[in-house]
Amino acid sequence: MSRPDTASVPTFEEIERLVRDHGITHVGVASPDILHDTRSVLHRRKRRGLHDGMQFTYRNPDRSTDPRRAVPDAHSVIVAARSYLTETEPSPPSTGVPARVGRYAWVDHYEPLRVGLRTVAALLRDAGHRALVFADDNSMVDRAIAQRAGLGWFGKNANLLLPGAGSFFVLGSIVTSARYEPNTTPVSDGCGTCVRCIDGCPTDAIIAPGVIDGARCLSWILQKPGPIPVEFRRAVHDRIYGCDDCQDVCPISVRLGRRNTIDLDVGGDEVQAYVDVLALLDSTDAEIEARHGRWWIAGREMRWLRRNALVVIGNTADPADRDVRAVLDRYRSDDDPILVEHALWADARLDERATPAP
């Protein structure tokens, strides 16, 4: 059991209770020593090009693997996990051309996680300590610090799986000068001989257990700038943002994740499980940004969501739908050559789908 070294800071048990109000069900403590293994993995993957130009934690591996860069006198990292799995799933709308959104982006799950962690950080600061919160930030490798805190193991799909709960969790942490007893026992591997995520990835992006080739991962392909490589456009299918396949096939995450489901309505945010791409392609950049601005879109340029939408149209829209063809006609004469090329591809794909195979 972890205990603070002074009476003025909240106990570990008090922290667990406090964050529970914010949907955080799992908390652990890690030492703030440099994460040397992860640092070498980041450097190695960068050298092999597996980051495919991604910045995030790759931008400065020496910083993202050293909690003391943020808090030089850090003694502990308090790590937290919050489920984003829901009991029921919204159904696709019956109008327009619906595109799927990754579960983690249906509503903003990071904000309630950060609010919970900030509540604790404020108490630690009141007690005279330094305390900084990180969640999906470039300065901290969230999975690796959570693994060190004993929250879970690295699955073959690279996600951190929590024992008895799976991987549908977002992760965050507080680096603090307060002293809590760190975890020293890593959670043992729970994947065993299972390889369902490797087999279930639509683009073979899991090139070895726990190793993702960014250039093949649809989650990155839908976020990154530039044209979507033609070889992956069919695999995009109806996705506009995020990809859940390697988790949706995971028996542990699907079955045991149900023990920690959340209620989507609680935050009052609009639930964005589906996006009508026909409506999106008819919207202005300002309108798209107003709806989806919290998503990570390269350079905050809405053209990348339009690009994704065009691919979804080609893959899933009714080839005989005149509204669909009219939208593609418009985009074929757009000023943006990348959108023109994607509209041409979508048109050709619709034609191909309209023609029955011989």
Q: Is 238 designated active site?
A: no
245 is a site residue for ligand SF4 (CB under 6 A): yes
Residue 243 lies near ligand SF4 (rule: CB under 6 A): yes
Q: 127 touches which of ligand SF4, ligand B12, none (CB within 5 to 8 A by kind)?
A: none
Residue with nearest beta carbon to ligand B12: 210
For residue 230, state whether it binds ligand SF4 (rule: CB under 6 A).
no
Query: Among ligand B12, ligand SF4, none, what does residue 344 contact (CB within 5–8 Å per kind)?
Result: none
Mask for 248-287, x = binds ligand SF4 (CB under 6 A): -xx-x-----------------------------------
Indicate whether 344 belongs to the interface with ligand SF4 (CB under 6 A).
no
Interface with ligand B12, residue 53, by CB under 6 A: no
Burial class (CB in 10 A: 0-12, 13-18, 19+), 57: buried
Mask for 206-225, x = binds ligand B12 (CB under 6 A) = ---xxxx-x--x-xx--x--
User: Rounded to whole angstroms, how far apart are CA atoms 280 and 324?
Assistant: 12
Choose the one of ligand SF4, ligand B12, none that binds residue 252, judging by a C-beta under 5 to 8 angstroms depending on kind. Answer: ligand SF4
Marked catalytic residue, from 33, 108, 136, 318:
136
- Part in contact with ligand B12 (CB under 6 A); list of ranges 134-142, 285-293, 311-319, 345-353: 134-142
| Interface of this chain with ligand SF4, residues 105 to 164, rule: CB under 6 A | 155-157, 161
One of 131, 145, 151, 201 touching ligand SF4 (CB under 6 A): 201
Q: Which of 3, 36, 72, 195 binds ligand SF4 (CB under 6 A)?
A: 195
Closest by Cα among 107, 83, 79, 245 to 164: 83
Comparing every residue's Cβ against ligand SF4, the nearest one is 155
- Inter-residue contact 112 to 268 (CB < 8 Å): no
Residues that bind ligand SF4 (CB under 6 A): 155-157, 161, 191, 194-197, 201, 203, 205-206, 212, 217-219, 243, 245-246, 249-250, 252
